[in-house]
Amino acid sequence: MSKRIDWKALGSILSPLKNVQFLARPAITESLEPRVAAPNYRGFHLNAWDECIGCSTCQKVCDNAAITMVKVPELPNDPVKGVRNLRPAIDYGRCCWCALCVDICPTASISLSREYVHTCFEEEIDSYFMLPREQGMHGKDYGKGWAKSEDADMVDLHRQPMEEVAPEDRVDNFEEIVAGFTRQQAILEASRCVQCGMCHDSCPTHMHAPEYIRAIWQDDVEEAVRQMYRSNPFSHVCGRVCTHRCETACSIGRRGEPIAIRWLKRYAMDAVPHERIREIVAEQKPQFISGRSIGIIGAGPAGLTAAFDLARQGHSVTVYEALAEAGGMTRYGIPYYRLPPEALDNDVDVIVSMGVEIRYNTRVGSDITMEELQRQHDAVLLAIGLQMGRSTRIPGSDHARVFRAVDLLRMAGAGEDFETPRQAIVIGGGNVAMDIARTLARLQKQHYHEVKITVLAMEREADFLADPVEIREAREEGIHIIDARGPREVMVENDELTGLKTWRVKAIFDEQGRFAPT
């Protein structure tokens, strides 16, 4: 067979009779019934309802606006766990079967089936609007076609690495451990967000996390700060020590590492100069003055947040604080390596700049009476917090060298001298226990150049209450952690502590779910 045909070399006039030889060949015609489609065919949608969390990311990526989010009341709706009772419904009058919804689904619940035949008469046009479930459009199982694969996944499951001070460098001082994001890192981290808003719903103060993450991605940190101050005046503090329930709820965290929302908040707050933050927040100053005055007792986070919000509404607010500095437990209950006092000072300064007056060293009851307050103000808010520590109430726990967590932290925070012990046991496996252990470790390192701390947790290692990060960092700092052990008795000899008797913990809660370790 030649590659070129010379038209002058005319073929035979009979050559079309070639057709005749096809009489003997088997027919290539397919049967009338639909064939089975290819293994990764892009047919009608399937959605595994157990895996779907109603984050509506599919709706955002859909280029044809074919996806409607429908509320299904029977399904769980728990923003704290990151689950909504919304499910996507597909409009096949819009869909183009591009499968972008499959590739971007954070939970990998959506896939396309190998089913492709759907016809309907005019009066049945409603069947074009479908709520996909595990089985196909017509209740029959044709098998999964295009589904999530590693190749096609469009969700970035990995966090930007965060720089930390090495354990040996950090254990002898109270400098902040986490370096914070650089601008580049923050933009990249923010770009992972799919704007599902689970964080907003799960946050106790409903911070506008999707908005400020978006603003950080757009490299507009001032807008990010503006968004944060819509609902939370303690953004410096929360950017460092928040329990970040948002990150637990984050839909990216379903299959990968959640967005580092807390660190992004911190990045934005650190990136804007303090003066500028004050200006941005000043935009929220009220246009009118209500003429009412409100007294708030306690300059802790609750009192100051209330003061901030009330001041924004045009009331004149006075806060009475018994101690010399504002901040309450955030100042005295959190070690400096996690929350430097300057950050707190900045937050308080912003609140004061909104016109809130704070009267320090004014203890209600001794310096000023409640009646006076009620006379001076239209309303009085008590925001005194929980400042009493809890005890284990085991024998010997009333010894002078047995401390309660809150008291110890306050003493350490205030710089009081309580004779740093050479050896210490911390009872408990939560974040506070880790705070104590790591604070003591730093003090020991400063005083005695060695760390001798044992943490006694009742939970087994797998279900520790503290953040995994905290536990890892504590171990790196030389703290010994024993799991599944409960305190039994503090051993005292001649008024000196000699040790602690412990028992093995089998279960922490009894059958009714009450706290009753055995």
Partner 1 sequence: MMKNLENIPVEQRRRTNPLAHVFDEFMAFCQSRSLFMLHYCTGCGAVELPPVMTSRFDGERLGISPMVSPRQADVLLVTGYVSVKTLKRVILTYEQMPAPKYVVGICSCTVNGGMYWQSYATAKKLSDYMPVDIYIAGCMPRPEAVISGMRDLMEKIRTGKADSWKDYFRNYDHYLGQQQRLFGPKWQTPTDIIGEAEHYGLITKNTRGEHTRLLEEHQKRLEPLEMRL
Partner 2 sequence: MSKELARWMDDLLQEIDTLKFERKNERRVRVDVDSKSVHSLLELLRGRASFVHLSAISCVDWIDEGQFELVYHIWSYEMNTLVSVHTRISRDSCSYISVYDIFPNCAFYERDIHEMYGMYFEGSPCMDKFILTEWDGPPPMRKDFDSEAWVNEHFDWQDYHPDWLQELETQGGGIAIHPEEQRFSRRNKE
Partner 3 sequence: MRPENYEAKRQPPSNEFELNFGPNHPGIEGNYAFRVKVSGDIVLEGKADAGYLHRGFEKLMENRLWIQNIAITPRICVPDPVPMEVIYCLSVEDLCGQEVPARAQWLRVLQMEMSRFAAYLFYFGGLGSTNGMYTPHYWGMADRDLILDLFEELCGGRVYHIYNIPGGVRRDIPDGWLERVSSTFDYLESRLKDYDDLVFRNQVFIRRTRGIGVLNQQEALELGVTGPNLRACGLPFDVRRDDPYLVYDQLDFDLPTEDAGDNLARALVRRADLFEILRIIRQVIKALPDIDGPIRAPIPNPLAWNVPAGETYQRVESSKGELAWYVVSDGGDKPYRAHVRGPSQTHAVQVLEHLAKGARLEDIAQIMFSLDACPPEVDR
Binding site for partner 1 (CB under 8 A): 27-30, 32-35, 37, 63-65, 91-97, 116-123, 125, 128
Contacts of 514 (CB under 8 A, 6+ apart): none
Query: Cα(452)–Cα(437) distance, rounded to whole angstroms?
Result: 10
What is the x/- site pattern for partner 3, positions 71-110, by CB under 8 A?
-------------------------xxxxx--xx------
Vertex 314, ends 310 and 320: CA angle to 5°? 45
Q: Are 385 and 328 in contact (CB under 8 A)?
A: yes
* Shortest distance (Å) from residue 11 CB to partner 1: 24
One character per residue 174-203, x = contact with partner 3 (rule: CB under 8 A): --------------x-xxxxxx--------
| Residue 62 beta carbon to partner 1: minimum distance, rounded to whole angstroms | 11
> Alpha helices of 183-288 — where are they, by DSSP H?
183-191, 198-202, 209-217, 221-228, 235-241, 245-249, 261-271, 274-282
| Footprint of partner 2 on 214-233 (CB under 8 A) | 214
CB-wise, 114 or 315, nearer to partner 1? 114
Question: Restricting to residues 37-96, which ones interact with partner 2 according to CB under 8 A?
Answer: 56, 59-60, 62, 65-74, 85-86, 89, 91, 93-94
| Binds 11: which of partner 3, partner 2, partner 1, none (CB < 5-8 Å by kind) | partner 3
- Residues 100-139: x where in contact with partner 2 by CB under 8 A, - otherwise, as a string: -------------------------xxxxxxx--------
What would the DSSP string read from start to end of 126-158?
Answer: GGGEE---SS-TTS----B-S---TTT--S---
Only one residue has tokens 């008469």, namely 121
For partner 2, the closer of residues 117 and 125 by Cβ is: 125
Query: Which one of partner 2, partner 3, partner 1, none is in contact with 32 (Cβ closer than 5 to 8 A by kind)?
Result: partner 1
Residue 37 in contact with partner 3, rule: CB under 8 A: yes
Selected binder of partner 2 within 197, 239, 258, 295 (CB under 8 A): 197
Residue 61 in contact with partner 3, rule: CB under 8 A: yes
**Binds 192, which of partner 1, partner 2, partner 3, none (CB < 5 to 8 A, cut-off by type)?**
partner 3
Tell me the CB-side half-sphere exposure of residue 211, using CA atoms within 13 A.
15
Interaction mask 143-172, partner 3, x per CB under 8 A: --xx--x-xx-xxx----------------
Nearest residue to 36 (alpha-carbon basis) of 143, 132, 149, 147: 143
210 binds partner 2 (CB under 8 A): yes
Residue 1 as a binder of partner 3 (CB under 8 A): the answer is: yes
Residue with tokens 């010399």, as numbered in its chain: 324
70 phi, psi to nearest 5 deg: -115, 135
Min separation Cβ 119 and partner 3, Å: 18
Task: Compute the least distance from the CB of residue 153 to partner 3, in Å.
Answer: 10
Least distance from C-beta 15 to partner 3, angstroms?
4
* Minimum distance from residue 116 beta carbon to partner 1 (Å): 6
Closest residue by Cα to residue 196 from 342, 377, 60? 60
Q: How far apart are CA 425 and CA 470, in angstroms?
A: 17
- Walk across the sheet containing 293-297 and list its strands: 357-359, 316-320, 293-297, 379-382
Min separation Cβ 100 and partner 2, Å: 14
Dist. CA 328–CA 235, nearest whole Å: 16
- Contact partners, residue 276, CB within 8 Å, separation at least 6: 222
Task: For residue 110, report the phi and psi dihedrals to the nearest 5 degrees.
Answer: -85, 140
Q: How far is the CB of 86 from partner 2 (least distance, A)?
A: 5
| b/e burial code for range 120-138 (CB count within 10 A of at least 16 → b) | eeeeeeeeeebebeeebbe
Rounded Cα gap, residues 210 and 300, in angstroms = 27
How far apart CA 340 and CA 180 sit, in angstroms, is 13
Query: What does the per-residue mask of binding to partner 3 show for 109-148, with x meaning CB under 8 A?
Result: ---x--------------------------------xx--
Return residues touching partner 3 (CB under 8 A). Answer: 1, 3-5, 7, 10-13, 15-16, 18-19, 28, 37-42, 57, 60-64, 96-100, 103-104, 112, 145-146, 149, 151-152, 154-156, 188, 190-195, 214, 217-218
Return residues touching partner 2 (CB under 8 A). Answer: 56, 59-60, 62, 65-74, 85-86, 89, 91, 93-94, 125-131, 195, 197, 200, 208, 210-211, 214
